[in-house]
Structure 1
Amino acid sequence: MSNMNIDNNVGALGITPPPVTTLGVQPNAPTLPAHINDSFDATTSAIFIANYGDNHRYIRDEERWLHWDGRHWNTDIKAQQLSDALEDMRNKLIANQSNYHLKEIAKKLANQRSLSQIKKHLESRNELSLLSYDCDSHEHLCALENAVYNTDTNQLVYDPVRIRPLFLTRRFPVAYSPDATCPSWEAFLRQIFCADEELIRFVQKAVGLSLSGKVLEEKLFFAYGSGANGKTTFFEVLNRIFGSFHQEIDSTILIKSKVQDQRLALENMANLRGIRFATSNEIPERATYNDMIIKQLCSRDMIAAKVVFKSVTPFMPTHKLWIRSNHKPLFNVHDGGMMRRICLVPFAYKVPESERIERFEDTLIREKAGILKWIVDGWKLYQKEGMKLLPESMKTALNEYAHECDSLKQFIEERYIIADYATTALKDFTANYNTWCKENNFRSSNARTLASELRAEGYEIAVGHGNARNIKGLGLIE
């Protein structure tokens, strides 16, 4: 049995929710407001709020309605649930033959213009209004199909009375079961990770991190490997499990280009609000990471984002970023901020053609309850162990990756000797380096940047005659 605690008390949520009235059980006769001789809008709204208000909320800054279905808050597409509730209210008012004013309201509600008018009025009522930051604002909570999970305490709360006032609109579309298993999923992981139990354990913890809305690790999880290695299946399954906590972002914002699309970057960042599991697919060959964007997306710092036709809105990040690709983007290995962020997860296995199963994710997703428990167990492993120690396979892969990206080191190894007696002019070194970069599809650099990187590697830059700068310890191979 799992060591998951089940607690329906408010303390299990780690917050104190506001009081709740009903659970949406609609009376046969509507509750009436104190004054029914007010305007049509005011009276009708008051009746609606008294009888149906607990189950409906309007998010003003996003101009959309939410509806409580008894267990979850859902976006009310085209306000259909609101319309149904108003229709139900009208039928009950018609049945109430004792009050002239109520019968008049019921007649008006049959008119489409009056119905649209009352919907508009309900949007302005403070009792029903929220702002987007009122929703999904508890970083330690995540809604599941049958409960809410507190990642701070590892407790589950099942009581809808306690869940409704939290306004959790994102959820895993999977019910938690402490006894669920996922033997096919675990066999799949052993296959694609070459039975490397240390690597599998790390991946489980890394995925488990996305249960929490807290950014506990400023990491970029980079899933790399050539085709037919299980990457696509792995992410397709997880994307389905994470449900509305998952968001795909455009890979073009993650790489450098001659013309950066700032609007696209801001819009993609806006889509990350409230997300726990962010993914991006396929980086072009020989592309270079946009260091600034990567650092911003893999950080605890506030993100500035923008929705079309709206102002820039900052928010605190909750996501963990995964990139999957058949190609390794270049990055500045001399930038400590990038080096400490990148976690290269090697997908080294190649599934034999005879063993490939079309849409294998559809088979694995049958174990969704067990996979959710695997993710929860990964979160608990992270709480216990952290992830400071990388598996040996990841260390090796990252070192190889860093060397492939280290154009300066490769250039020196090819063109220079390293000796105490040697010296070379920084100006000549820079010119030779940029020519080499052009030939090898690396980005060129300037003397100032190269001098800084050379010093970081332990080389001394001395000023000689005429203020010419020379690199000590390097000599051009003749």
Structure 2
Amino acid sequence: MHSSEDQANGLTEELLASGLPLEVHQRLRYREVSTKTALDLVGINATGWVVPMCSPGGEQYLHEGKPFFRFKPHQGQLKGENPPKYVSPKGGGCRPYFSTLMPANSLADGKPLRITEGEKKTDCLNHYGLPTIGISGVDAWTDKRVEPRQFIPELETINWSGRDVFLVFDSDVTIKDSVRASLYRLTDALSERGAQVFVVLLPCELNGDKNGVDDFIYRHGADAYRALERISRPACKSRGKGKNCSRKWWEPEPPQIHHKALTACTVLDGIYANRLNHGLYQWNNSHWELIKGKDREALKRPLHQWMDEMGWHKRGDSVIGSMVSEILARLEKTKWDCDGFMAFANGTLRQDIFTPGHKPNDSQTFCFPFNYDPESTCPRWHQFLKETLGADDLIRLLRAAIRWTLIPKQIDAPFTHELVFDVHGPRRAGKGTLSEVLQAICGGSAGVGLIRSQSFCNPNALHSLIGKRIALDPDASGHVSDPGVFNSISSNEKVEVKKLYKDADSARLGVVIWRFFNDSPTASGGGIEGMGRRIVTFRFEKSVTNPDEELKLKLINEAAGIFWWAWSMSDSEMNDALRNRGKVLAIREASIEAALERDHILRFSVSNPGEYKAAELYRLYSRWITEEGQHPISATKFGREIKKLPWVEHTKDWKASYYKTHQPTQQDLALHIGITIESSRSGDFNPPAEQTHQPNTPEPQSSTEAMSQASLVSLVSSSSEKKGREEELEKGEEQQRESEVQFRPTRPTSVPVYVDGHNGWTSPTSLIPKAGLIVLIDELGITHSVNAKQVSLYPPKTKQIHRPSNYSTQLLVQSLPELSHE
């Protein structure tokens, strides 16, 4: 037995499912009744709900002096093979249903009316402003009180002459001959009374499920019903006159292709949606998913299946082709991924308010594959971060980066943070684990698009990123030949995209780029300096000797907790961390190193200070880049690129052009690649030693923000020799030298030179400028900037004098004004 509260809730749900919102329920006359009340009202010993049958004026119809009710027993209470769904008083005949929601004056002469089967369907149509009379069944417009095929007295009071009447029967009228026969008989009765009768064809669902008009409006909306009513066809047409007069009855299959397409579209809308020049999407009960292949072919299969259910058989190539064209045009939607909306497995977050369930009209093309759960935790994730990054400021910045990746963004506007996140380090250092975690919390292939260095020149590859949260390169390598597109994606500016079989288009991708690599991808071309301003580099320092083989799976299982860890960071915290990323020493050094690896012109300028003629400098560059295993760019392009560096001065006279390259400081490099730094005296750069949880040997922290000459050359050397170190790792070396983690000076080359006649020095180049500073390394491995006039490739004519061991401390570095040395 169900409690009265459960029964009341059941009736409420039933009315809601009939397209009747909660606010109108009180205006209706439905009520739950007990077995005793049901027995008294309709003579049935069962529980259920009843609705009184009343005249247009509100007076209840009577039977044998008692009020006339229609009764719907609760399921399973009536016995028999096919028990009735609804019951009226025995011997009482039929009564029409006039809804309390019917608009005023709807029965006035000449006004259109609808006739449908059932009280809830009648209420639904009237609620949406469509005046309707309800009958209890397809033949309930007549009963034994009157002659066969005559209206019951209650319907005879209506003036049908000159009135358009729309018959709205259930969708199975297309496949049930008996229902169509009833429709024809009702048409005759109405026509005899002067009405113009039309049939509104309701479609079944794609899977063949039947639709009553209330079901249809609940599923597809009142506007979709109105569209069907506008293409309703006459129930009967007369041809000829007198004895030659013939009648053509309404047929379920429309003769016009447009009517077929429009009818199909009312069902397909909400299941399929067309995004212009991007493709056909399908609703999968949580979000819209792009269908692979040709849109027209993808639509044909469900269309044929639905036509089978409708009993339509005229479908030649021209019919299907025309239908598909119109359907695709009608299914086109322009609004996608509503700003501030996020779909989860258990519901949708709309402007920070979570509600269970999902709606196609939210137009979300992505759904997180886990529940939205503010109580979820991720203890193993916190442990992983302490073991790999260690420092609290690095963890805070990573948290901000992940939150920025996850949050819904305004797709049709530039991003507030124009950032790309690079993660590099040796094998087994945690890069791959972080990559897998990002893919898990972004929904795998549903929210993650694959991007490679060569993808930035491929509109087809870029098209696949639309609707994703993240553009990820799990093993970045190669060469980015179009930095301009790279920069546009990071800024969410429009780029060219193209789907197969579609026209090329421009679109904002709305994704955040993450790249993971052992060896940094190179780049060249216009916009390379913009890349440096956008890239934030995280460096994973140490390989793990005994890795946990199940770590990735453990962290993936914490996806909901990791999401909430990032999501619970406030907007102001995230913005502060991202904007002040330059205050984190490890980020600055990693970003500068990555910029030097990526930009060979930048790397060349740092390693070759001095004064040169233009031709001389280009020859030096050509020899240097060839030694690096790359091809030199043209002299014109070289001149154009090196002039962009703020520490390079360019002058010219009537004889030649000249370049003077100064040795940049760390601040010069940081500012050039878009990292703003402040004085370390502010105390904001790095946490105290006791706040850093670093399992690996920490790097020595510099006492000033100006980078020493030795450290700068070390960065250049690290970027030049990184490939070689990674190749050693691939050959199976288990141990890495400390110098690979700490930026110790290493010898870029081994060209022997003489300083003031003393040997034991090496130079990074065999071309010695006539003036300016040149970077040299003494026999102890200490780096110095030496006046070029003191340097020679050849030994002096006199006997060589071996310098004392403390000679390097006597030859002080001639530094720029920005630098200070103790």
Q: What is the TM-score when the length of structure 1 is the normalising length?
A: 0.72
1:438 to 619, 622, 626: 626
Q: Does 1:374 align with 2:565?
A: yes
SS in 2 for 1:307: coil
Q: Aligned letter for 1:305?
A: V
Q: Does 1:325 align with 2:511?
A: no
Distance of 2:605 and 2:322 partners within structure 1: 71
Question: Quick one: structure 1 residues 458 and 72, their matched pair in 2 at CA, closer, same or farther if it must change by over 3 Å?
Answer: closer
- Matching residue of 2:537: 344
Q: Does 1:190 align with 2:386?
A: yes
Range 288-297 or range 426-435, more displaced: 288-297
Distance of 1:222 and 1:309 partners within structure 2: 34
Q: Aligned letter for 2:344?
A: L
Unaligned runs of 5+ residues in structure 1 are: 1-20, 91-105, 255-261
Distance of 1:463 and 1:346 partners within structure 2: 42
**CA deviation vs aligned residue, 1:108-127 (integer Å, no higher than 9, x gap):** 4xx6x759998766644569
**CA deviation vs aligned residue, 1:380-401 (integer Å, no higher than 9, x gap):** 4655635111122111212233
Question: Quick one: structure 1 residues 251 and 75, their matched pair in 2 at CA, closer, same or farther if it must change by over 3 Å?
Answer: closer
Q: Does 1:279 align with 2:433?
A: no
Distance of 1:394 and 1:454 partners within structure 2: 27
1:456 to 608, 631, 645: 645
Distance of 1:125 and 1:413 partners within structure 2: 63
1:156 to 331, 354, 378: 354
**CA deviation vs aligned residue, 1:379-426 (integer Å, no higher than 9, x gap):** 74655635111122111212233344564565566665x5xxxx5322
- Matching residue of 1:130: 331
Conserved 8 A contact 1:45-1:122: yes
Aligned-residue offset at 1:365 = 1.9
Conserved 8 A contact 2:274-2:331: yes
Conserved 8 A contact 1:135-1:167: yes
Aligned-residue offset at 1:209 = 1.2
Higher RCO (Cα < 8 Å, 6 or more apart) = 1
Q: Does 1:57 align with 2:272?
A: yes
Q: Aligned letter for 2:531?
A: M
Aligned-residue offset at 1:438 = 0.7
**CA deviation vs aligned residue, 1:145-199 (integer Å, no higher than 9, x gap):** 222334xx43334354xx3222323222222112111212222222222x22211
Question: Quick one: structure 1 residues 208 and 82, their matched pair in 2 at CA, closer, same or farther if it must change by over 3 Å?
Answer: farther
Q: Aligned letter for 1:154?
A: D
Question: Quick one: structure 1 residues 439 and 183, their matched pair in 2 at CA, closer, same or farther if it must change by over 3 Å?
Answer: same
Aligned-residue offset at 1:128 = 8.3
Aligned-residue offset at 1:446 = 4.6
Question: Quick one: structure 1 residues 379 and 127, their matched pair in 2 at CA, closer, same or farther if it must change by over 3 Å?
Answer: farther
- Matching residue of 1:94: none
Distance of 2:503 and 2:261 partners within structure 1: 31
- Matching residue of 1:11: none
Unaligned runs of 5+ residues in structure 2 are: 1-127, 129-204, 217-224, 234-249, 293-297, 661-770, 774-787, 793-822
- Matching residue of 2:395: 200
**Percent identity (aligned):** 19
Distance of 2:476 and 2:575 partners within structure 1: 34
Q: Aligned letter for 1:171?
A: C
Q: Aligned letter for 2:617?
A: F
- Matching residue of 1:235: 435
- Matching residue of 1:103: none
- Matching residue of 1:474: 772
Distance of 1:404 and 1:126 partners within structure 2: 53
Distance of 2:377 and 2:304 partners within structure 1: 42
Q: Aligned letter for 1:221?
A: F
Q: Aligned letter for 2:578?
A: M
- Matching residue of 1:17: none
Distance of 2:437 and 2:316 partners within structure 1: 43
SS in 2 for 1:429: helix
Question: Quick one: structure 1 residues 136 and 382, their matched pair in 2 at CA, closer, same or farther if it must change by over 3 Å?
Answer: farther
Question: Quick one: structure 1 residues 81 and 371, their matched pair in 2 at CA, closer, same or farther if it must change by over 3 Å?
Answer: farther
Aligned-residue offset at 1:299 = 2.1
Q: Does 1:392 align with 2:585?
A: yes
* Larger-Rg structure: 2
Q: Aligned letter for 1:373?
A: W
Distance of 1:284 and 1:73 partners within structure 2: 33
Aligned-residue offset at 1:278 = 0.7
Alignment map for 1:251-262 (pairs within 5 Å): 251-253=453-455, 262=457
Distance of 1:302 and 1:168 partners within structure 2: 20
Q: Aligned letter for 1:326?
A: N
Q: Aligned letter for 1:204?
A: R
Aligned-residue offset at 1:323 = 0.8
Aligned-residue offset at 1:337 = 1.4
Q: Does 1:357 align with 2:545?
A: no
Range 238-247 or range 330-339, more displaced: 330-339
Question: Quick one: structure 1 residues 121 and 402, their matched pair in 2 at CA, closer, same or farther if it must change by over 3 Å?
Answer: closer
Q: Aligned letter for 1:313?
A: D
Q: Does 1:39 align with 2:237?
A: no
**CA deviation vs aligned residue, 1:240-296 (integer Å, no higher than 9, x gap):** 321222101233335xxxxxxx5xx111111122222111132337x4664233223
Q: Aligned letter for 2:474?
A: N
Aligned-residue offset at 1:68 = 4.3
Q: Does 1:209 align with 2:404?
A: yes
Higher helix share: 1
SS in 2 for 1:222: strand
Q: Does 1:426 align with 2:614?
A: yes
**CA deviation vs aligned residue, 1:280-335 (integer Å, no higher than 9, x gap):** 132337x4664233223222321111223432111123111111111023357995
Question: Quick one: structure 1 residues 457 and 443, their matched pair in 2 at CA, closer, same or farther if it must change by over 3 Å?
Answer: farther
Alignment map for 1:14-33 (pairs within 5 Å): 29=212
Distance of 1:76 and 1:402 partners within structure 2: 39
Q: Aligned letter for 1:293?
A: V
Distance of 1:28 and 1:338 partners within structure 2: 57
SS in 2 for 1:427: helix
Conserved 8 A contact 2:492-2:511: no
- Matching residue of 2:701: none
